[in-house]
Amino acid sequence: MKLQGLHHITMITRDAQRNVDFYADLLGMPLVKKTVNFDQPDAYHLYYGDEQGSPGTSLTWFEFRDAASGRAGAGMVHQIKLGVASDRALEFWEHRLGSHGYSAETGSGSLRFRDYDGLAFELVVADGDDPALRPVHPQIPAEHAILRVVGARAYAQSDASVSLLTDTLGFNAEPDGYGVQGERRHFHWAYDPPPDLPGQQGAGTIHHIAWASNDAEHPRWRARVVETGAHVTDVIDRDYFYSICFREPSHVLFEIATLSPGFAVDDDPAHLGETLRLPRQHEHLRQRLEQLLTPVINPRAAQHRETRT
């Protein structure tokens, strides 16, 4: 068995429209699915990625409108790395972020910034990306587009996670961390010493990270993790993938999710993210939820309307 790299990373925000404005419009990552939280259907769950919402490109957010600002601490992911194609792309993003009021810190081959909720990102030059997967945005040249999610860093109290990563999940030891290599993409995972203050989940923090598996191998991944003594959920049907969840020994919440059926299972592939889609189990709540949820304007949908007119 072999994991296929990253599937997605899920965060928390208090403002869905501001989330769409920052990620879909400013960063140019298409909103590929507008749905709700399976366990709390009165909260949005928004997915961004490449044009197809391919695993390995996906960042997702729960909107909890009353959420206080959070703080990353031990057992939490605290930084996400995004890949671009060149140093010139880093220069483009430094200017674009700055022109919208977001400061960025330049480094050797990198650019660090925070979103409106304070979530930390680092842009780095990434090799081997498929140009066909680059998202399309009228203000972002294709050669400067954000390509995919290439890495993440978590706070950990010890090296307790090494055995699970390498022996159970098949990660490889790499300089400054661990790597998981899928058939198409590589992902780098690393730990940093935790800060003195304890973590507090809230707006601007990362809820969980999900690894991708082939569909046929998914039940075997659950059995393998159970053998380590971890408490693992049953296999859950999330409509767009099947998943299992568990906490690794450093207490980071892990998910293993299947590559299919994908986001086009209930959407026109050319219009992903333009319509509110509900999990099958919550479809009977549509009228109430459409009244309760604040309408979100997807810039891609607006562009399509302008094109038709």
Q: Confidence class of residue 159 from pLDDT cuts 50, 70 and 90?
A: confident
Q: CA dist 254 to 110, 160, 297, Å?
A: 27, 15, 31
Across the range 183-205, mean pLDDT stands at: 94
Average pLDDT over every residue of 175-196: 92
| Element holding 110 (H helix, E strand) | strand 110-114
Q: How far is Cα 120 from Cα 206, in angstroms, rounded to an integer?
A: 10
pLDDT bucket at 129, cuts 50 / 70 / 90 = low
pLDDT digits (tens, 9 = 90+) for 263-302: 888 988 888 999 999 999 999 999 999 999 999 988 876 5
Measured distance CA(180)–CA(183) in Å, rounded: 10
Alpha-helical (H) ranges within the chain are: 16-20, 87-99, 162-163, 218-226, 286-292, 299-308
pLDDT tens per residue across span 12-55 = 999 999 999 999 999 999 999 999 999 999 999 999 998 888 88
Sorting pLDDT into bands at 50, 70 and 90, what band is 305? Answer: very low
Quickly list DSSP for 182-201.
-SS-EEEEEEEPPPSSPPB-
Cα separation, 59 vs 149, whole angstroms? 8
CA-closest candidate to residue 27, choices 56, 7, 50? 50
Model confidence at 66, pLDDT cuts 50, 70, 90, reads: confident
Separation between Cα atoms, residue 128 and residue 142, nearest integer Å: 15
CA-CA distance, 11 to 143, in Å (whole number)? 27
User: In terms of pTM, does the model score above 0.85?
Assistant: yes
Residue-wise pLDDT for 250-271, tens only, equals 999 999 999 999 888 898 888 8
The H or E element spanning position 7 is strand 6-13
What does DSSP say about strands 77-84 and 120-125: parallel, antiparallel, or unpaired? Answer: parallel
Average pLDDT over residues 144-159: 91
Bridge partners for 9 per DSSP = 59, 209
Cβ-based neighbours of 85, under 8 Å, separated by 6 or more: 125, 126, 129, 143, 144, 145, 147
Contact 207, 254 (CB under 8 A): no
- Secondary structure percentages of the chain, helix, strand, coil, to 5: 25, 30, 40
| Cα 155 from Cα 33, distance rounded (Å) | 29
User: Whole-angstrom Cα distance, residue 213 to residue 32?
Assistant: 20
pLDDT at 308: 41
Question: In the prediction, which pLDDT does 127 show?
Answer: 74
Q: Half-sphere exposure of residue 306, counting CA atoms within 13 Å on the CB side?
A: 7
Domain boundaries, the chain: 6-308
Residue 75 confidence (pLDDT) above 80: yes
* Fold designation for 6-308: 2,3-Dihydroxybiphenyl 1,2-Dioxygenase; domain 1 (3.10.180)
